[in-house]
């Protein structure tokens, strides 16, 4: 089993990102200007820095401080979030549980992480954690509930198996 997404799987990631962005944007009714303010980058294991790799979670959000190259003052800084997909964990799960297909699973994971980004950027939950594993149980339940609500609003083949997998988090 490969530990990194192959070309076909990366295409699935790309399509899932576009769909997740659309669904999260529509759910939170964000204008294009508001959505752009939620600065984030989605990365797969091939491009993760060593400290962005974790064992266990399927993804995590890390916050960085960004600044335009021509703006040396701290007042021009902004929050930049990296959504770090953990290819090995994701591929291991869909291999061990063949009833869970990659595309709907990625869609769930990406919606979940983008909900975190929106909540952090709106200060609905403070970003003060070093990893996804440190997010409070209460916050994780809240985000899983929102993710369930968002993904349940559309018809996606294979999503019921993913929802069954996460049932303990929102049920």
Model confidence over 29-41: pLDDT tens digits?
988 777 766 689 9
Domain boundaries, the chain: 7-70+77-170
Residue 56 — left, alpha, or beta (φ > 0 → left; ψ -120 to 50 → alpha)?
Answer: left
Res 170: pLDDT? 72
Which regions of the chain are under pLDDT 50? Answer: 126-127, 129-131
CA atoms of 102 and 122, how far apart (whole Å): 30
CA atoms of 54 and 116, how far apart (whole Å): 17
Q: Select from 108, 104, 113, 103 the least CA-distant residue to 12.
A: 103
**Gap between the terminal Cα atoms of the chain:** 32
Does the structural domain 7-70+77-170 have CATH classification 2.40.50? no
Q: Select from 100, 61, 66, 97 the least CA-distant residue to 82.
A: 61
Res 35: pLDDT? 72
Res 123: pLDDT? 63
Res 73: pLDDT? 64
């Amino acid at each position: 089993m490969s530990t990194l997404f192959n070309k076909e799987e990366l295409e699935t990631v790309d399509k899932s990102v576009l769909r997740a962005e659309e669904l999260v944007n529509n759910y939170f009714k964000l204008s294009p200007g508001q959505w752009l303010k939620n600065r984030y980058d989605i990365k797969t294991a091939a491009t993760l820095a060593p400290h962005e790799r974790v064992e266990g979670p399927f993804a995590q959000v890390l916050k960085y401080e960004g600044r335009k190259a021509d703006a040396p003052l701290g007042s021009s800084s902004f929050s930049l979030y990296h959504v770090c997909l953990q290819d090995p964990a994701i591929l291991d799960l869909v291999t061990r549980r063949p009833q869970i297909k990659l595309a709907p699973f990625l869609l769930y994971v990406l919606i979940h992480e983008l909900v975190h980004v929106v909540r952090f950027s709106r200060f609905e939950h403070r970003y003060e954690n070093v990893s996804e594993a440190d997010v409070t149980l209460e916050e994780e339940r809240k985000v899983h509930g929102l993710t369930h609500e968002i993904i349940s609003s559309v018809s996606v083949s294979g999503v019921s198996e993913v929802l069954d997998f996460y049932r303990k988090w929102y049920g």
